[in-house]
Amino acid sequence: MTTKSETSAKSKPTYQYDAIVIGTGPGGEGVAMQLAKAGQKVAVVERYEAVGGGCTHWGTIPSKALRHSVSRLIEYNHTPLFSENQVNRHVTFAEVMRHASGVIRSQSKLRASFYDRNRVTLIHGEASFVDPHTIKIIHKDGSAEYITAKQIALATGSRPYCPKDIDFSHPRIYNSDTILSLKHEPQNIIIYGAGVIGSEYASIFRGMGVKVDLVNMRDRLLSFLDTEISDALSYHLWNNGVVIRHMESYTSVEGQEDSVIMNLESGKRMRADCLLFANGRTGNTDMLNLDAIGLKADSRGQLKVDKNYRTEVDNVFAVGDVIGYPSLASAAYNQGRAAAEAMCTGKANSGLVEDIPTGIYTIPEISSVGKTEQELTAQKIPYEVGRAQFKHLARAQIASTTVGSLKILFHRETKEVLGIHCFGERASEIVHIGQAIMQQKDGGNTIDYFVNTTFNYPTMAEAYRVAALNGLNRIF
């Protein structure tokens, strides 16, 4: 005779793991590390041989390493101490990428050690769903493996959008991933798409002396930015020789033996040594066999999630680029940690902060947090502006990085800091000072902090004191 307890034990499913995480980018790493530290038995599936995802291998790390090298080259060539009585130095794309490759290897090795140290099982192969609790993994040799878990987290990231009417197998046509394998040295390049990636690469290639045509489908660059910052970037690119073509769309692309021709709807024809197509990204969900669990991605390959990062399937969660905005590596990691908390307790008590900083690694950098002037005006919030020009800062003069400025937006009556916008070298670092003050509660977030605090001198951080005083002088 079978007892009630025995029947219950038999009906309860047995899983190999508490959780399976698909993808080892920032989002997947955040989920896996948080679950492991909570005592969960975790398996992570990575389709490539090295961990780190697109962030480490094709996106954030290589492009920023590339940008850093070019920025230092520009700085060297424009510093009077080094540039007097000598010809400007030049480096090839291949030389710069060798440095970036070293950074990629170091980052990937470091991130792999996290999984080993936290006893997370790392499996390499292509993952897809069999059912809501079972994952099929196709290994490099073609063999298949099946693993099961109570819960599954998707952190598969995204890839460049590549329209079918463009031949991306042509040796002179690239997307934002394949551009890193650029072999020849172009004299001129067409960059189609003037979003964050396109704008960053436009400044990188122009910094290397390459003629750049930047095709923008909108009427201004990076329209989500504060208008003054967007205008500053446009002027700086224009002043450095980048040709920006606003409100243009392509009709066809012709790949030739030694060049690429792009035909625009306006009737223009453009020729360059190569084309970088950087117009949007698509979530990596098409290979997951989502139909097997009744889950459907939208036209951009993205999944809908609730505030706990749970998809429409109760035991399946998703984080990072695959869920869309804000599509930042920094945010993806924190999303992963929050999703892991929800997987353990049923609810994510900690989420992303309300004001997420934006870092755009053009040359110079752009970074902002909080509201723009346009948003505050539309909301009829009485605000004032404080500005500091970098050219007036001793540290900027010493480092010959005088291009740019810091702008503080604050409430006229309460003096609450509402937004920080920075254009210039080290902007992505400088913005965090303002972000920290904006997160203060109980009256701690006011522009008075910057006036009453003693900053090291000379520093770029001193811009906050200068901007605060400038803004307070406008109040009457």
Residue 105 lies in a domain: yes
Q: By the 8 A CB rule, do 298 and 319 touch? A: no
CA atoms 134, 138, 144, 145: torsion sign = negative
Residue ranges making up the domain that contains 178:
173-279
Query: What's the longest Cα–Cα distance across the chain?
Result: 98
Q: Is residue 72 part of a domain?
A: yes
* 212 and 80 inside one domain: no
Q: 308 lies in a domain?
A: yes
The pTM assigned to this predicted structure is 0.92
Q: Does residue 220 sit in the same domain as residue 319?
A: no
Domain check: are 404 and 449 in the same one?
yes
Contact 334, 30 (CB under 8 A): yes
Instruction: Give whole-number Cα distances, 15 to 11, 26, 75, in Å.
Output: 13, 26, 57
Q: For the chain, how big is the Rg over CA atoms in Å? A: 25
Q: What is the pLDDT of residues 242-258, one digit of tens each?
A: 999 999 999 999 999 99
| 93-117 helix and 26-37 helix, angle to the nearest 10 degrees | 20
Q: Do 339 and 213 have their domain in common? A: no
Statement to judge: residues 393 and 302 lie in one domain: no
Do 29 and 148 fall within a single domain? yes
Of 259, 279, 299, the domain-final residue: 279
From first to last of the 476 residues of the chain, give the pLDDT tens digit: 444 444 444 456 889 999 999 999 999 999 999 999 999 999 999 999 999 998 888 888 889 999 999 998 888 887 777 766 666 777 788 888 888 888 899 999 999 999 999 999 999 999 999 999 999 999 999 999 999 999 999 999 999 999 999 999 999 999 999 999 898 899 999 999 999 999 999 999 999 999 999 999 999 999 999 999 999 999 999 999 999 999 999 999 999 999 999 999 999 999 999 999 999 999 999 999 999 999 999 999 999 999 999 999 999 999 999 999 888 898 999 999 999 999 999 998 876 767 889 999 999 999 999 999 999 999 999 999 999 999 999 999 998 899 999 999 999 999 999 999 999 999 999 999 999 999 998 889 999 999 999 999 999 999 999 999 999 999 98
List, for residues 285-336, the tens digit of each pLDDT value: 999 999 999 999 999 999 999 999 999 999 999 999 999 988 889 899 999 9
pLDDT at residue number 446: 97
CA dihedral 439, 440, 441, 445 (to 10 degrees): -100
Residues 20 and 154 in one domain: yes
User: Does residue 131 sit within a domain?
Assistant: yes
Q: Are 86 and 137 within one domain?
A: yes
In sequence order, the 6+-apart residues with CB closer than 8 A to the CB of 37 are 118
* 454 falls within a domain: yes
Residue 164 lies in a domain: no
Same domain, 180 and 153: no
- C-alpha dist (Å) from residue 60 to 65, 94, 140, 333: 8, 18, 26, 14
Output the CA torsion sign for 67, 71, 74, 76.
Answer: negative
Is 266 in the same domain as 290? no
Domain termination site, one of 262, 279, 296:
279
CATH number for position 454:
3.30.390.30
Residues 71 and 122 in one domain: yes
The tokens for 363 are: 């040359």
Q: Indicate the pairing of strand 211-215 with strand 134-138.
A: unpaired
My answer on whether 64 and 140 are in the same domain is yes
pLDDT of residue 2: 46
Contact of 317 with 153, CB cutoff 8 Å = yes
pLDDT digits (tens, 9 = 90+) for 176-232: 999 998 988 999 999 999 999 999 999 999 999 999 999 999 999 999 999 999 999
Asked, for residue 340, whether it belongs to a domain, the answer is yes
What is the Cα–Cα distance from 440 to 119, expressed in whole angstroms?
37
Q: How many domains does the chain have?
A: 3
> Which one of 261, 279, 297 terminates a domain?
279
Whole-number pLDDT of residue 476: 85
Q: Is residue 249 part of a domain?
A: yes
Determine contact, residues 387/406, Cβ cutoff 8 Å.
yes
CATH classification at residue 294: 3.50.50.60
